[in-house]
A and B are shown apart, each in its own frame.
Chain A
Amino acid sequence: MGIAFPIPDNAIILRREAIISGLSALIPPESLITSEDERRAFETDALTSYRRMPLAVVLPTTTEEVAAILAFCNENGVKVVPRGAGTSLAGGAIPQEDAIVLGVGKMNKVLDINFGDRTMRVQSGITNLAISAEVAHKGFFYAPDPSSQLACTIAGNIAMNSGGAHCLRYGVTTNNILGVRMVLIDGTVVDIGSDAMDAQGLDLLGLIIGSEGQLGVVTEAIVRILPMAEGARPVLFGFETSEEAGACVAAIIGAGIIPVAMEFMDKPAIEICEAFAHAGYPLDAGALLIIEVEGSDAEMDAMLKKIVTIAKKHGVKTVKESKSAMETAAIWKGRKSAFGATGRIADYICMDGTIPTGQLPYVLRRIDEIVKSYGLRVANVFHAGDGNLHPLILYNCNDPEEANKAEEAGNDILKLCVEVGGCLTGEHGVGIEKRDLMRHQFTEIDLGQQMRVRAVFDPKWLLNPAKVFPLDGRISA
């Protein structure tokens, strides 16, 4: 497997016992994990082909404990890998041998809900779905909905600026957070933003969201909650070709309609998901769109009528409107379980590039060619409205040669995304996975500016240092 890790600092590893002893003075014994068996649960994330055993794992329960741990690590030159639920597909939470893992999972309480202001203050280890569950009885929800929302934490969402299927309408994490409490590497606790809409001074909140755990450890967040729509209804469209489906998406947007979600699947993805979820996906279709609208019944009827008319003009073969909550759940179950369903038939790596949607037919054709040239198969699922692709490259992880080919094919696909005017990652983050491709998207000047900003927060590169920026040419001040 091709991704390099920094050479571990042996001096730190040799001081492991002293470091553990120092940490044990700061947190209760049940918050400190040192045995090899228990540490193993933290040696990787959802990029499971890479794993590294950390020195120790700390699971603090308060901001004060986080501050004490970070101050200790800063003084002793110990690297820290922050962790939410460990669902990163980009390897954002994979440890290294000379680092401790700092997991925020035990800090998972709701601190305050204000329905009038439509805000909620939570500890950062709460799961994405638990936030929505907490306010559902009053008809509210937290909008960003990554597929891993049952498990993933708001801390991880903030680190990666996570998106989801409905962000075409509701935006991504950065559009839905008003404030954070964050601990800097020297143990200083800062509040950035508040429950007000505009923050003071520079937009540090915008900088922190998506910074992949490299600027500090977020322990609390103030999130926006939104009123649920009166109803939501998806419609399934089956097309013969991806080109037709792509043109239909463009025409819907061109007509001034912004559905809350527009999801695309190609034939291999349709087959995989249908076999798993029995959602009634058309198996004879070459491409499938799931388009969801919201509103009252009459509003949805009117909106769907317009959308179906457009789809018919673009050669839609199958039209299937959800007639019940059960059908709606089944339609979404197929899409949301796309990764899991794929995992049942093969190992896969999931790419996450974004492209200008006008490039869709060309890019899909090229992806097919690229993956075939490596002798592999690919299934495509993606957010069609915003061009965020998720090609799943299928391979056998017990075959090292095939694993390397899958990685290379993935890299070729991401370079293609950049070439056509897009980017390496739309919502999963850079992590270790795309770190060495950063120079395809950014110049040394671009990266230098980012690294100088990073160094303001963490001049010694102690926070999640193996990630995001290529290992050579790093700037500390």
Chain B
Amino acid sequence: MSAPSLFAEQELIDSVHAARNAATPLSIIGSGTKSQIGRPAQSDKTLSTAALTGITLHEPAEMVIAARSGTPLAEVERRLADKKQMLPFEPMDYRPLLGSTGEPTIGGVVAANLSGPRRIMAGACRDSLIGIRLVNGKGELVKSGGRVMKNVTGLDLVKLVCGSWGTLGVLTEVTFKVLPKPQRSATLVLHGLDDANAIAALSAGLGSPFEVSGAAHLPNGVERVSATLLRLEGFDEQITYRLDALKKQLHRFAAADYVEGAQSAALWRSVRDATFLVEPRENAVWRISIAPSKAAKIIAEIKKSLTIRHFYDWGGGLIWLSLPATGDAGASAIRSALFGTGGYATLVRGPADIRAAIDVFEPLSPALRVLTAGIKQSFDPDGLFNPGRMIAGI
């Protein structure tokens, strides 16, 4: 633990006290690479965690790493890679999609609960996060969880804070459980399937015993001929066996070939970062979370009224969708298609005026809104942190 960082934590507490005394709301940022996500900031001042850097703990044999919140994600991943380990949840990089610059911080990863393709097997950021320290809106340093991976002591504020987009407090340190990097990774590719058949194939793969760690479908229009991708990770001999076994199992959908090494890695990086939807830059981009069996129907429904490009991750459970940023950027059509399905839509890219006018995150039922407002109040009674970023008025 380096002295400047400890100093920086106290400085941050002082800043929160000052903001509280002056009743000045704050935008909480790491390096700001995702500041275009959410409803536009309703605060004049910015509080950054960028000075809070450094890996504070890495015990490879205990599969645990901790870092101050402003530490670049890249530094954490590098340190883990040195010991052939990784963050299990494969955090996405929003920079290509948002056209932002800077080094994403580990605190920002937690604030956004960023998770990539491996979420389907290894869980989301919230599943690997085991400890936090944060400064709440009263300027108090609160800790929850710790450095051990099995811990049910007290209320789990760790998960509550993960994905709260800086609305509950300012993270100062985060701790994760990690996994060994797989020795070998390969991707089975099936060509020419339509959305419904592709999702059925992905479900069959995910329902197999072969531990599919990525399951995506790139429809015609994203790829020239649609491509359905299933990733296998593990020991060398294991992958040889599983590629063959899975290929046989999915033969009833389509013949398959496979890629591995750099080619496979690049493919999953594109799925992770949704780079297929970067262009056209002026388009809005949505992220829809839904049970896979409902996904193709939802897309068909949305297509009745909107012109879209889309692809699927998480076996069909995550839909990425791009469409012209006009009117409400498709919000009402998308949300009415999702009504009653248990699915949720989030606008992750769109002009500020649209983000100010619509619900960027899925609107809450009245009862959930009351609970959410109460929790916000319990952390941040004066509404200092990112007011209204997730939900208008909270």
Contacts and interface: CB of A to CB of B under 8 A. Distances in A.
B26 interface: no
Q: How large is the interface on A (under 10, 10 to 19, 20 to 34, 35 or more residues)?
A: 35 or more
A354 B344 CA distance: 36
Contacts of A210: 152, 155-156
B152 A426 contact: yes
A227 B209 contact: yes
Contacts of A20: none
A64 interface: no
Given A203-B159, A227-B208, A446-B142, A386 B371 contact: no
Interface string B172-184: 0000000111010
A230 B364 CA distance: 42
Nearest to A437: B153
A195 B291 contact: yes
Choose among B156, B293, B374 the residue with the greatest number of A CB atoms under 10 Å from its CB. Answer: B156
A58 interface: no
A473 interface: no
Given A199-B344, A200-B361, A421-B148, A453 B160 contact: yes
Contacts of B142: 445-446, 449
A207 B157 contact: yes
A12 interface: no
B304 interface: no
Interface in A189-210: 189-192, 194-207, 209-210
Contacts of B372: 201-202, 204
A13 interface: no
Interface string A113-145: 011111100000000000000000001100000
B256 interface: no
B343 A192 contact: no
A429 interface: yes
Nearest to A477: B378
Interface in A409-454: 421-430, 434, 438, 441-443, 445-450, 452-454
A211 B159 CA distance: 12
A471 interface: no
B119 A197 contact: yes
Nearest to A193: B342
Nearest to B127: A175
Interface in A155-204: 160-161, 163, 167, 171-172, 174-175, 179, 184, 188-192, 194-204
Interface in A73-130: 114-119
Given A302-B235, A421-B147, A438 B153 contact: yes
A229 B207 CA distance: 10
A260 to B, nearest CB: 11
B151 A299 contact: no
B124 A198 contact: yes
A325 interface: no
Interface residues of B, number: 81
B163 interface: yes
Interface string A321-355: 00000000000000000000000000000000011
A142 to B, nearest CB: 14
B322 interface: no
A387 interface: yes
Contacts of B155: 207, 210-211, 450, 453-454
Interface in B113-164: 113, 115, 119-120, 123-124, 126-127, 136, 140-144, 146-160, 162-164
A445 B113 contact: no
Nearest to A445: B140
A376 interface: no
Contacts of A117: 203, 291-293, 317
A388 interface: yes
B75 interface: no
B160 A163 contact: no
Contacts of A441: 153-154
Contact of A456 (B127, B149, B183, B374): B374
A302 B153 contact: no
B150 A204 contact: no
A303 B235 contact: yes
Contacts of B162: 203, 206
B61 interface: yes
Contacts of A354: 148-151
Given A206-B159, A207-B160, A196 B152 contact: no
Contact of A118 (B136, B143, B206): B206
A356 B317 CA distance: 35
A450 B143 CA distance: 10
B375 A202 contact: yes
B160 A198 contact: no
Of listed B62, B119, B141, residue having the most chain A CB within 10 A: B62
A267 interface: no
Contact of A295 (B147, B154, B206, B238): B238
Interface in A9-59: none
Contacts of A190: 365, 367-368, 371
A184 B374 CA distance: 14
Nearest to A359: B62
Contacts of A233: none
Contact of A299 (B60, B124, B238, B365): B238
Given A302-B238, A354-B148, A427-B152, A258 B291 contact: no
Interface string B215-256: 000000000000000000001011001000100000000000
Contact of B126 (A163, A206, A387, A422): A206
Contacts of A202: 160, 163-164, 168, 372, 375, 390
Nearest to A389: B150
A197 B62 contact: no
The listed residue with most B CB atoms (<10 A of its CB), out of A116, A188, A257, A383, is A116
A282 to B, nearest CB: 25
Nearest to B150: A426
Contact of B156 (A139, A161, A424): A161
A258 B150 contact: no
A298 B375 CA distance: 51
A196 B127 CA distance: 15
A298 B141 CA distance: 51
A333 B352 CA distance: 60
Given A171-B127, A357-B62, A387 B342 contact: no
B157 A449 contact: yes
B33 interface: no
Nearest to A203: B159
Nearest to A450: B155
A150 interface: no
B63 interface: yes
Given A197-B119, A258-B180, A356 B62 contact: yes
Interface of B: 59-64, 84, 113, 115, 119-120, 123-124, 126-127, 136, 140-144, 146-160, 162-164, 168, 179-181, 183, 200, 203, 206-209, 235, 237-238, 241, 245, 289-293, 314, 317-318, 342-344, 361-362, 364-365, 367-368, 371-372, 374-375, 377-379, 390-391
Interface of A: 114-119, 139-140, 160-161, 163, 167, 171-172, 174-175, 179, 184, 188-192, 194-207, 209-211, 227-230, 250-251, 253-254, 256-258, 295-296, 298-299, 302-303, 354-358, 383, 386-388, 421-430, 434, 438, 441-443, 445-450, 452-457, 468
Closest 8 CB pairs of A and B: A206-B159, A194-B342, A256-B180, A456-B374, A452-B378, A200-B362, A426-B150, A250-B61
10 contacts: A172-B152, A194-B291, A196-B317, A201-B364, A209-B156, A354-B148, A446-B144, A453-B160, A454-B155, A456-B375
Given A198-B113, A198-B115, 13 more contacts: A163-B152, A197-B120, A202-B390, A229-B209, A298-B241, A355-B148, A356-B62, A426-B152, A429-B152, A446-B144, A453-B160, A456-B375, A456-B378
